[in-house]
């Protein structure tokens, strides 16, 4: 566990494709079930000590990819490297991985201690080594008082902690998490999420984490890979994914409520949709473009009231739905015949039917080509 | 809870009588309760009572003889052989059909092709009646018609396999047929239990490098305990009742070498016109079941209250 200390501090300054040593590398991976192609020519490099999150809706292939990396599914084509070693045809236990499952997958007839030590006993480790590893893992996870209990006598959060402990004692380089928090209630999930982050900061192993929960992805990840239909749509830091989504799918998937999208045309440096016109002088185009496009703006980038005076485009809309969330309030209006969400302060008293002055600027926006749905 | 705005509360609702709660289901349960009480409990008590009388062709409650029937029963060679056969048959049948059933289920559980077809074929014997099974195996084990003849015709002239005519091993001939019939059912039961085990358990054990056989023995089998209990209860009740298989295969022969208690009871009651002795034998069968069942039930259900 202690051999990956060097890069953790500079992790966030590093660009996505850095010179850090690669921990897990997936090359040209294909997976087919009969005629159904689940993963298509997938390439992914994960750095030493990185926390990578595979994010996507159900059926996108994220868990399948994780199972391929773990060796639980036989791949149809391609190569997988872990720590520079080609493990494509190795058994899961030989790959140097530990895995945590959504359903915990604890052995119900064994105590916590038994669960954590069974694999090690089976591997023929000396007793002193086993008890040392088990006690170290239980200390890290603070499950020492539970060691003699059986899984049935534990809460969901405790069970998942034991499952993480069972992976920890294996003393491996890479940890794989398959939606580990999805079976927990909201409060526990938030708590355990923080603990997982602290665990990663402490042990600094490579972690690959599958989830469909974007909050988990945004908070935990060093980088996020958003998947759809077996293809990685974007692989970038949470910040970049949020502010510069690579395509329409990513823009729509990340953020709650989702990004407001207006259908229109880009011409002469201006985006025009029904009833809306936005000058695009502030927008950072990848390459010059004219033609039909989507204009996307996040609810929190829409200014309200006097604050809107500084914006490039100013409009007046009518509040149709008001969702108070406490810390802030979501307001649904209608713009260019589309639903248009605004995020305003929880203190502001907006009622249904109120006229609101809003404004936004192209600098905060994302533009997508309507035919390819790729960012402009 | 939410505040209701239903005017001023006028009267406190009365709790309805518990007797009339779920009345329809209570009425529907009456026939079953009667059957259980009259037939199971009532007839059992009636049988036990008459086992202490000298009933011959008809029940004769007035001819009380005390333990005479039991003394006669336990002095009779035929009954002793029956009990011995049942013990051998029961022990072997229980262990073998569980083992074979489990191995078959584990093999089928490995996601093989044609699983449905194979499962159906293995379950087929269970659809046959014991009489048919017994007759078929009588032919298979018959030295002139069956296995011995076939092997000899292949050229192994000295091959001898004739269990049904050998008093020493005849019960094992019956055992083969019983296992052939029963293990398919055990397999289906255990396979259903295995399918109920979370896929992630298997993944976890693979990641930890635990071999499949160890996963079965240390993880899967303990998790399947309820299914095993069900299977054992069903097999055990079949063992106690075994009768038609013996009748069809050997009629208790050679001599009295393959007699079983159920056959003894039937014959005393309906052929020898000795109801009292038959009842005594069936009471002994009930007693032997209880001797096994009560400690088990005590362990299984009595312990729960404390922890």
Please give the domain boundaries of chain A with CATH numbers for all domains: 8-245 (3.40.50.300), 249-369 (2.40.50.140)
pLDDT in the model for residue B233: 85
In which band, very low, low, confident or very high, does the pLDDT at A265 lie, cut at 50, 70 and 90?
very high
Q: Please name every residue paired with A236 in a beta bridge, in sequence order, or none if there are none.
A: A224
Distance CA A54, CA A210 (A): 5
Compute the mean pLDDT over every residue in chain A, rounded to the nearest whole number.
88
Residue-level pLDDT at A308:
85
Average pLDDT over residues A276-280: 88
Q: What residues of chain A have any CB closer than 8 angstroms to a CB in chain B?
A: 67, 70-72, 91-94, 97-99, 101-105, 107-109, 118-119, 122-123, 166, 170, 178
Q: Which of A63, A64, A90, A108 to mutate to test the interface with B (most CBs of B within 10 A)?
A: A108
How confident is residue A341, by pLDDT bands cut at 50, 70 and 90?
A: very high
The helix (H) or strand (E) run that includes residue A118 is helix A112-122
Residue B300 confidence (pLDDT): 75
**Contact B207/A99, CB-based, under 8 Å?**
yes
Pick the residue of B199, B204, B205, B212 with the most A CBs within 10 A to test the interface with A by mutation.
Answer: B204
| Integer Cα distance of A343 and A44 in angstroms | 35
Specify whether the CB–CB gap between A191 and A157 falls below 8 A: yes
Nearest to B209 among A107, A119, A178 (CB): A119
| Dihedral sign, Cα of residue A283, residue A286, residue A292, residue A294 | negative
CA distance A72 to chain B (A): 7
Taking only the tens place, the pLDDT of each residue in B25-41 is 889 999 999 999 998 89
What tens digit of pLDDT does each residue of B222-243 get? 999 889 988 988 888 888 888 8
Residues of chain A with pLDDT > 90, as a percent, come to 58
Does the distance separating the beta carbons of A67 and B219 come in below 8 Å? no
Nearest chain A Cα distance for residue B97, angstroms: 25
DSSP for A198-235 reads HHHHHH--EEEEEES-HHHHHHH-SEEEEEETTEEEEE
CB contact under 8 A, A105 and B203: yes
Please enumerate residues of B whose Cβ is less than 8 A from a Cβ of A.
198, 200-201, 203-211, 214, 218-219, 222-223
8 Å CB contact between B186 and B155: no
Does A105 contact B206 at a Cβ distance shorter than 8 Å? no
User: What is residue B6's predicted lDDT score, i.e. its pLDDT?
Assistant: 52
Q: Parallel, antiparallel, or unpaired: how do β-strands A291-297 and A366-369 relate?
A: antiparallel
Do A170 and B222 count as a contact with CB atoms less than 8 A apart?
Answer: no
Q: A93–B206: do the CB atoms touch at under 8 Å?
A: yes
DSSP A179: S
Q: What is the pLDDT of residue B229?
A: 87
Q: DSSP assignment, residue A142?
A: T
pLDDT in tens, chain B (307 residues): 445 555 555 677 877 778 788 888 889 999 999 999 998 899 999 989 888 888 887 777 777 888 888 888 888 888 899 989 999 999 999 999 999 999 999 998 887 888 888 888 888 888 888 888 888 888 888 888 888 888 888 888 888 888 888 888 888 988 998 999 888 899 999 999 999 999 999 999 999 999 999 999 999 999 998 899 889 888 888 888 888 888 888 887 788 888 888 898 888 888 888 888 889 999 998 888 888 888 888 877 765 544 3
User: Looking at the predicted structure, is the pLDDT value of residue A200 above 50?
Assistant: yes
Distance from CA of B6 to the nearest CA of A (A): 29
CB nearest to A93's CB, from B198, B207, B214: B207
Handedness of CA B230, B236, B242, B246 (dihedral sign): positive
Q: Which two tokens stand for residue B92?
A: 């072997």
The answer to whether A55 and A233 are in contact (CB under 8 A) is no
CA distances from B94 to A65, B87, B102, B186, B238 (A): 45, 10, 12, 10, 10
Quote the minimal CA–CA distance from B113 to chain A in Å.
14
pLDDT at A11: 41
Q: Do A101 and B204 make contact, defined as CB atoms within 8 angstroms?
A: yes
User: Is B223 in Cβ contact with A122 (below 8 Å)?
Assistant: no
Q: Select the more confidently predicted residue: A337 or A16.
A: A337
In terms of CA atoms, which chain A residue is nearest residue B202? A105
Cross-chain residue pair A107–B203, CB shorter than 8 Å: no
Which tokens hold the place of A20?
């850090």
Do the chains contact at A105 and B214, CB–CB below 8 Å?
no
Average pLDDT over residues A221-227: 94
Please tell me the distance from the alpha carbon of residue B250 to that of residue B265, in angstroms, as a whole number. Answer: 17
CA A107 to chain B, closest CA, distance in angstroms equals: 6
pLDDT-based confidence at residue A4 (cuts at 50, 70, 90): very low
- Judging contacts by C-beta atoms under 8 Å, the chain B residues touching residue A92 are 203, 206-207, 209
pLDDT value of residue B10: 63
Residue A82, beta-bridge partner list: A24, A85
Whether the per-residue pLDDT at A275 is higher than 90: the answer is: no
Quote the minimal CA–CA distance from A94 to chain B in Å: 8
Transcribe A32-101 into DSSP letters. Answer: EETTEEEEEEEEEEEETT-EEEEE-STTSSHHHHHHHHHTSS--SEEEEEETTEE-TTS-GGGS-EEEE-
In chain A, residues with a C-beta closer than 8 Å to the C-beta of B201 are 105, 107
**Dist CA A272 CA A262 (whole Å):** 9
> Using one digit for the tens of pLDDT, what is the confidence trace for A140-181?
888 999 999 999 999 888 999 999 999 999 989 999 999 999
Which pLDDT score, from 0 to 100, does residue B113 have? 84
pLDDT-based confidence at residue A24 (cuts at 50, 70, 90): very high
Per-position DSSP letters for A258-292, written without gaps between them: PPEEEEEEEETTEEEETTEEEE-TT---SS---EE
**What domains appear along chain B, each with residue ranges and CATH number?**
23-50 (no CATH), 77-301 (1.10.3720.10)
Structure token digits, residue A188: 């526990």
Best mutation target among B207, B220, B304 (most A Cβ atoms within 10 Å) is: B207
- For the segment A29-33, the average pLDDT, to the nearest whole number, is 91
Q: Residues near B129 by Cβ (< 8 Å), separated by ≥ 6?
A: B244
Is there a contact between A97 and B207 if contact means CB atoms under 8 Å apart?
yes
Q: What is the C-alpha to C-alpha distance for residues B188 and B115, in angstroms, rounded to an integer? A: 12
Q: Measured between CA atoms, how close is B199 to chain A, in angstroms?
A: 8
Q: How far is A344 from chain B (nearest CA, A)?
A: 30
Q: What is the DSSP string of chain B?
A: -PPP--SS--SPPPPPPGGGTTHHHHHHHHHHHHHIIIIIIIHHHHHHHHTTB--SSS--TT-B-TTHHHHHHHH-HHHHHHHHHHHHHHHHHHHHHHHHHHHHHHHHTTT-TTHHHHHHHHHHHHHS-HHHHHHHHHHHH-TTTSHHHHHHHTT-TT----GGG-TTTHHHHHHHHHHHHHHHHHHHHHHHHHHTS-HHHHHHHHHTT--HHHIIIIIIHHHTHHHHHHHHHHHHHHHHH--HHHHHHTTT-STTTT--HHHHHHHHHHTS--HHHHHHHHHHHHHHHHHHHHHHHIIIIIHHHH-
pLDDT surpassing 60 at residue A127: yes
Count of positions (residues) in chain A: 376
Place A20 in a pLDDT band, splitting at 50, 70 and 90: low
């Amino acid at each position: 566990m202690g051999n990956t200390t060097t890069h953790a501090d500079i992790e966030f300054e590093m660009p996505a494709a850095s010179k850090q040593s690669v921990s897990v590398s997936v090359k040209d991976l294909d997976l087919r079930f009969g005629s159904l192609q689940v993963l298509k020519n997938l390439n992914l490099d994960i750095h030493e000590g990185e926390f990578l999150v595979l994010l996507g809706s159900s059926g996108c292939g994220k868990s399948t990819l994780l199972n391929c990396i773990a060796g639980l599914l036989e791949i149809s084509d391609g190569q997988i490297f872990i720590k520079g070693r080609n493990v494509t045809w190795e058994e899961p236990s030989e790959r140097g991985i530990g895995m945590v499952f959504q359903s915990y997958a604890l052995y119900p007839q064994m105590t916590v201690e038994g669960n954590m030590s069974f694999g090690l006993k089976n591997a023929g480790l000396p007793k002193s080594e086993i008890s040392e590893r088990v006690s170290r893992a239980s200390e890290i996870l603070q499950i020492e008082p539970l060691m003699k209990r059986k899984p049935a006598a534990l809460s969901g959060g405790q069970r998942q902690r034991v499952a993480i402990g069972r992976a920890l004692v294996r003393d491996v380089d890479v940890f794989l998490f398959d939606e580990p928090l999805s079976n927990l209630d909201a409060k526990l999930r938030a708590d355990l999420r923080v603990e997982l982050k602290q665990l990663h900061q402490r042990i600094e192993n490579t972690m690959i984490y599958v989830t469909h929960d974007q909050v988990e992805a945004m908070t935990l990840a060093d980088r996020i890979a958003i998947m759809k239909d077996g293809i990685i749509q974007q692989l970038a830091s949470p910040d970049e994914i949020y502010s510069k989504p690579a395509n329409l799918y990513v823009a729509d998937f990340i953020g709650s409520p989702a990004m407001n999208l207006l259908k229109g045309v880009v011409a002469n440096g201006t985006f025009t949709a029904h009833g809306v016109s936005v000058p695009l002088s502030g927008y950072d185009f990848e390459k010059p473009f004219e033609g039909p496009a989507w204009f996307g703006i996040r609810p929190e980038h829409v200014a309200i009231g006097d604050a809107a005076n500084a914006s490039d485009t100013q409009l007046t809309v009518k509040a149709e739905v008001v969702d108070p969330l406490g810390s802030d309030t979501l307001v649904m209006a209608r713009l260019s015949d589309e639903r248009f969400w605004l995020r305003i302060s929880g203190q502001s008293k907006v009622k249904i039917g109120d006229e609101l002055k809003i404004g936004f600027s192209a600098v905060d926006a994302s533009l997508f080509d309507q035919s390819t749905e790729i960012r402009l | 809870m939410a505040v209701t705005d239903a005017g001023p509360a006028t009267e406190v609702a009365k709790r309805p009588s518990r007797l009339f709660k779920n009345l329809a289901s209570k009425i529907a349960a009456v026939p079953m309760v009667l059957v259980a009480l009259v037939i199971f409990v009532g007839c059992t008590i009636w049988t036990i009572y008459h086992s202490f009388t000298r009933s011959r062709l008809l029940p004769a409650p007035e001819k009380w003889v005390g333990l005479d029937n039991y003394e006669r029963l336990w002095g009779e060679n035929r009954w002793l052989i029956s009990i011995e056969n049942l013990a051998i048959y029961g022990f072997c049948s229980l262990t073998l059909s569980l083992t074979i059933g489990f191995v078959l289920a584990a093999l089928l559980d490995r996601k093989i092709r044609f699983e449905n077809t194979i499962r159906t074929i293995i379950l087929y014997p269970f659809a046959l009646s014991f009489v048919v099974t017994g007759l078929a195996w009588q032919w298979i084990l018959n030295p002139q018609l069956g296995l011995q003849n076939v092997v000899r015709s292949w050229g192994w002239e000295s091959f001898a396999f004739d269990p049904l005519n050998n008093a020493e091993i005849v019960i094992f001939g019956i055992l083969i047929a019983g296992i052939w019939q029963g293990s398919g059912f055990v397999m289906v039961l255990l396979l259903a239990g295995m399918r109920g085990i979370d896929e992630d358990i298997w993944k976890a054990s693979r990641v930890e490098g635990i071999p499949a056989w160890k996963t079965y023995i240390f993880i899967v089998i303990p998790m399947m305990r309820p299914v095993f209990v069900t299977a054992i209860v069903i097999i055990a009740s079949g063992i106690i009742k075994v009768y038609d298989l013996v009748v069809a295969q050997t009629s208790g022969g050679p001599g009295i070498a393959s007699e079983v208690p159920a056959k003894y009871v039937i014959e005393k009651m309906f052929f020898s016109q000795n109801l009292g002795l038959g009842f005594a034998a069936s009471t002994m069968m009930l007693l032997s079941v209880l001797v096994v069942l009560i400690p088990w039930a005590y362990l299984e259900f009595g312990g729960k209250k404390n922890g």
